[in-house]
Structure 1
Amino acid sequence: MRDVLERRAVLLHEHADTREEAIRRCGRLLVETGAVAEPYVEAMLERERSISTYVGEGVAIPHGVDREAILRDAICVVRFPDGVDWDGEHVTLCVGIAARGDGHIALLAELAEILLDPGRARALREASEVETVMKELS
């Protein structure tokens, strides 16, 4: 996981009024770090319209299906301390994924394993330092 997560792709003190804003923030971060082209942000929103990316424990994993817009496999971690209403669920942590081919399946499986550990999931949701996120996701 560490090879697809850069320190600059971790933001821990963000704010979003809506689920769409939160997804846009994740997508923009992937654009800013050079992982995806601009159209991927809209692809993330389209994906969310078809099925929620909320996975439980206050975590959502937004991702798109526009493989042509993906320049390299990457993830970003965006924490919203005040939380975001995610269709009735309270989300404080978004892990955005961009993966070419079937790479997203492996990333989702690895993330699921980490998030199924209540202690690690809590550490990620409550992280106030980038190094904590890097440690928990490595």
Structure 2
Amino acid sequence: MKFLEERLVALDVVATTPEETIRKAGELLVQQGAVEESYIDAMLLSYEENGPYFVLAPQIALPHARPEDGVKEASVSLVRLKKPLNFGSERNDPVKFVFALGASSSEEHLEILQKLTVLLNDQHNLEKLESAEDYQQIKALFN
């Protein structure tokens, strides 16, 4: 599983639309060989068709698509936006952190969500994600 490894994390990314943000988070997964390019299109289509259902908590979006849409390996990337963006979620906009998930099975999907939930349920961790100046400070949150 590739879970927020250094090459899967991009800080202070500039993006002007939710679609651009999802694409950037997906490209990190593609570059590491975790998903195919088609997976990005599937995530974008899912957002287009279903709206911001994956904006699960204040500031946090977890875009994903189905395993058969091109997942090669369970993986999670993170894009921290320089400026938060509205995804269309009344309760949880604006979004600052975008975690793109790639899971090749339901079991993996649950495992990834559990790892993220433990991390993101702690308000201190969110503050540290917000203020981290480099990858090492983010990595310290998982250990």
Q: TM-score, normalised on structure 2?
A: 0.87
Alpha-carbon shift at residue 137 of structure 1 (Å): 3.0
Q: In the aligned structure 2, how far is the partner of 1:130 from the partner of 1:32?
A: 18
Q: Which ranges of structure 2 fall in alignment gaps of 5 or more residues? A: none
Q: TM-score, normalised on structure 1?
A: 0.90
- SS of the equivalent of 2:96 reads strand
Query: Matched residues, percent identical?
Result: 28
Q: CA RMSD in A?
A: 1.7
Contact 1:70/1:100 (8 A) holds in 2:
yes
Q: Which ranges of structure 1 fall in alignment gaps of 5 or more residues? A: none
Instruction: List aligned pairs for 1:1-12, cutoff 5 A.
Output: 4-12=3-11
Runs (4+) off by over 3 Å: none
The corresponding residue for 1:133 is: 138
The corresponding residue for 1:76 is: 77
The corresponding residue for 1:50 is: 50
1:14 is aligned to 2:19: no
The corresponding residue for 1:59 is: 60
Alpha-carbon shift at residue 47 of structure 1 (Å): 2.5
Aligned length: 137
Deviates more, 1:3-12 or 1:20-29: 3-12
1:94 to 98, 106, 126: 98
Contact 1:79/1:92 (8 A) holds in 2:
yes
Could you report, residue by residue, the CA deviation over 1:29-58 in whole angstroms, capped at 9, with x for unpaired residues? 111111111100011112323252112231
